[in-house]
Every structure is written in C-alpha cells, then in structure tokens.
Amino acid sequence: MTVTRFPPSPTGDLHIGGARTALYSWLYARQNDGKFILRIEDTDLERNSKQSVDAIIDGMNWLGLDYDEGPIFQTDRFDRYKAVIQQLLDEGKAYRCDCTTEELEAVREQQRANKEKPKYNGKCRERHDVSVEGSVIRFKNPLEGDVVIHDRVKGDIVINNRELDDLILARPNGVPTYNLTVVVDDMDMQMTHVIRGDDHINNTPRQINLFLALGAKLPEFAHVPMILGDDGKRLSKRHGAVGVMQYRDDGFIPQALLNYLLRLGWSHEEQEIFSREEMIDLFKLENVNVAASTFNTKKLIWVNEQYIKTLAAEELAEHLEWHLDNQKLDISNGPAITDVIEAHRDRAKTLKELASNIRYYYEDFSEYDEKAAKKNFKTATPGILQNLLDKFKQVNDWNPESIESVIQATCEELELGMGKVGPPLRVAVTGTAMSPSLDVTLNLVGKERSLKRLEKAVAFATAKYAES
C-alpha cells in the first residue's frame, strides 16, 4: 500500500511551501488509495510549541487535507529511537564523539579557509575511549562510493560519500536528531513515498545511508522545487502572509488556494481550475516542474474569483460565515444570503470583500460614500428621488420587474435617461456608487428599507442643495 506523510516541525504556522508539499503527498496517497500520515517532528525541544502544533492542524483542517494517521509525535517515540541508536552502536555503525562545539567550529573555520566544504573531520570515528557522559553519537557514514537518488521529479542525482560527514544521531542528553528520527519513522511506518521540498536533497543521501545501515527498504523520493517570493528569494515572513490561515483571513477559499498551489509548479494540459476529484485523478509526480517557481498573489486572486463565481451559493455561504462573523455583520434581518451571493459573486475578488460589499442589505448606513454623494446628488436629485419614492409606495408586489418598471416610468415622466435616474437612486438606497443592477438591488434591500432610505435621501439632497 502507498504510504505518504507530511512531517512539519512545530516551530511556526503551516506555510505556503509546507502546504504545497502536504498537498502533493496527500494527493499521491489519495490517488493510490493509500495512507497519508501527519507526523510532528518535535525533537527540537527548545523551539517547538503547542501553539504551532495547533496552528498546523488548523491549517490542515482548513485546507481539507485529511490524514489517516496522526498526528504522531516524535517525542512519543524516544524509546524506539534509542533502541535503534543502540543497535547501530552495537553493530559498530555508530560511535561516540566528545569533540566540543568550539573544536568543531575551529575545524570548519580551517576548512573554509582552505576553500573546502566544512564538515566533521572524523576525529573520534575510530576511538573507543569516549565516555558516555557529555558525548554525542555519530553515524559512521561510508567513506567512499556514490549514493544515487532515483528522484521521481528530478531524475537520478548522484552524490559521492566524500561530500558527506558523520552526522549526529543523538545529542549528549540522548535526544535523537532529525535525520535519525526521520529514517526510523519512515522505516517503521513503511513509507513508500517521501515527497518533500528540494531543500532536503542534501539530507537524502545521508538518510539513504542510514536506511541501508538499518537494512530497511528504501522509499521512493520525490523532491519538489521551492516556492520563491517575488524577489527571487525563498518564501518567508517578509513576503506577506505567514501562515496558511492568513489566507483565510484575507478572504481566500481553501480549495482556491489548493488549486493555485497545485498549479504552481505542476500543470495538466491547459487546465487552470481543478476540482478536488480532478486533482486526485490527474496529479502526476512526473508532471511536477523541476524549477523553483515564484508565488504570485494576483493569480491566486484570479483563481479565488473563479471559485467565487462558480461555487454553489450554499457552499459559498458556509465559507462566508467566518467573514460575516469577523466583520460583525448580522444577516438574520434581511434577504437570504444565497440570493445576495448570487447578486454579488461577480463583483468580489475575495470573501472578505464580498462580506463588506453586502452590508447595506442588512444594516442601515448613517453616511453616504462621500465621493458617490458628491458626484450623484445634484440639484435635480430631490425631484427625481421624490418621483421614484411616490411610485414605489404604490407598488404592492415588490420584485425586480415592478421595480424596473417604476424606474422606467420615472425616466419617461421626467424625460430623463437612465443615466440621470439610476446613479442617484443607487446612492440613496445603498449609500455607495456600486451595486448590482438596481432592480436586483432594491428587491434585495426590500420595500420598507428602500422607501425609508429614499425619504432620507430626499431630505439630505434637499438640505444639501439649500446650502449652496
């Protein structure tokens, strides 16, 4: 069975880069009816935090990347790691080293000065007199020969063992380190595919050597390229949104973000929008691009718009709920939210924007948009609005058609074009210069509210005209 995993270290939020490798791993598992595991790599006791664990899980949930096992915490598996390390020690595949950090740094300094790659010099490799107290345990990496990674996206990568050094498996306090725990876990969890960022390519040959030393079956490796910020540098906090949840706050639909992330560095013919099912069905590791790609918010926004335009109104309403709540907009007193969504979905780039665009259906406004009022409330306005108001009062069946016919009637009676009547009416009823077509807008605002606002606008415009 196919088994993949996503193994973040809990030192921060779930980032865009992490979200994408999680997505790829998840897709691969789902596509092959396999298992997707969430593993928390929390062996750096200093830096990891409970909040980060929660943030990562929140992010995974929001994105809908469900896992079949986990979260598994490496800190719960220390006994197992210790046993493996002991086994390596017993078999002479690992050794104790008591070199001090100062010593190590001096060696590296020297190597750098000699224009060499800094690495451990193997001083303790053949010693047998190192005391347990205060010493680390190192892996005896092979000294010669090549390690070949048969990478599913990059192709074969060859690294000579001379480039590698004896990595530390356990700190003096016995806490195991990353490369050891990853290998033990991937071995124990029978990982078939390791899909991760290509910043890990350098770790892979070391891990392969460890797998080999443990007599374990090698998983397949797939290193996906990094995501860069628009300055060409690796994506980081400086490039705007930190965690994935920031995108929720900014009004993105999780599926849209997933869609964007999928297409960033992967493609299928000329398709841009993929449903969840299509993603699972069509994703191929071999189609993942080999080069790093730049994150582009404008395209993400475009993808988001596509989802806002096409998702079922009910589903959109669910996603919108958080934003309504966040913007303190109570929609219990007003038109059905799905109707409002239908009227506004072509006009919003984000859910955040959508939420703020629809306030006037549910709440009265106290002020007109300054520019809109200035531009559209003229000396003739009170008369026009009063004419509309009188006719609207007579309408019993409040619907788009009846509203439209009133507007037409006013235009004819006053011998004015739609361009003279529509804009002031819009400002009067919505307080803004933008809304869907007037028949739809007034219908949603409702008769009672519309009349009240028209009365207020007549008064406002009259007073304003009287001033000058």
Of the pair 292, 329, the CB lying nearest RNA is at 292
Task: Return the ∠ at Cα 419 (arms to 415 and 424), rounded to 5°.
Answer: 100
Q: How far is the CB of 51 from RNA (least distance, A)?
A: 16
The CA distance from 203 to 356, in Å, is 48
- In this structure, what are the phi and psi dihedrals at residue 229, rounded to the nearest 5 degrees? -80, 175
Least Å distance between CB 417 and RNA?
Answer: 7
Alpha-helical (H) ranges within 73-131 are 78-90, 101-113
Closer residue to RNA (CB): 325 or 371 = 371
- Distances, alpha carbon 109 to alpha carbons 101, 103, 118, in Å: 12, 10, 8
- φ, ψ of residue 99 in degrees (nearest 5): -65, 140
CA distances, 422 to each of 3, 394, 396, 425, 429 (Å) = 61, 19, 21, 5, 11
Count Cα neighbours of 191 within 13 Å in the Cβ-side half-sphere.
26
User: Which residue type, as a one-letter code, is found at position 209?
Assistant: N
Question: Is 299 an active-site residue?
Answer: no
Residue 61, Cα to own-chain centre: how many angstroms?
A: 11
Q: Minimum Å distance from CB 256 to RNA?
A: 13
- 8-state DSSP, 266: B
Closer Cβ to RNA, 244 or 325, answer by number:
244
Least gap, CB of 259 to RNA (angstroms): 11
Q: Least distance in Å: CB of 241 to RNA?
A: 16
Burial class (CB in 10 A: 0-12, 13-18, 19+), 172: middle
| Block residue for tokens 């990562």 | 56
Smallest distance from RNA to CB 167, Å: 7
Strand partners, 4: 36
DSSP symbols for 357-377: HTGGGTS--SS--HHHHHHH-
Measured CA to CA, the distance from residue 340 to residue 221 in angstroms comes to: 48
Q: Which is nearer to RNA, 203 or 386 (CB)?
A: 203
List Cα–Cα distances, 221 to 3, 7, 27, 311, in angstroms.
12, 14, 15, 36
Q: How far is the CB of 237 from RNA (least distance, A)?
A: 13
Q: CB-wise, 60 or 264, nearer to RNA?
A: 264
Q: How far is CA 273 from CA 210, 261, 268, 287, 394, in A?
A: 41, 11, 10, 16, 48
Rounded to a whole number of angstroms, the minimum distance from the CB of residue 419 to RNA is 4
Peptide bond into 205 cis (omega under 30): no
Task: Closer to RNA by CB, 215 or 232: give it.
Answer: 232
Specify the DSSP class assigned to residue 141.
-
Distance separating alpha carbons of residues 8 and 71, to the nearest angstrom: 10
Catalytic residue (one of 117, 217, 233, 237): 237
Q: Which is nearer to RNA, 177 or 192 (CB)?
A: 177
The smaller minimum CB distance to RNA, of residues 100 and 333, is found at 100
Of the pair 438, 444, the CB lying nearest RNA is at 438
Q: How far is the CB of 16 from RNA (least distance, A)?
A: 13
Give the integer Cα–Cα distance in Å for 458 and 368.
Answer: 13
Residues linked to residue 288 through DSSP beta bridges, in sequence order: 266
- Which residues belong to the active site? 237
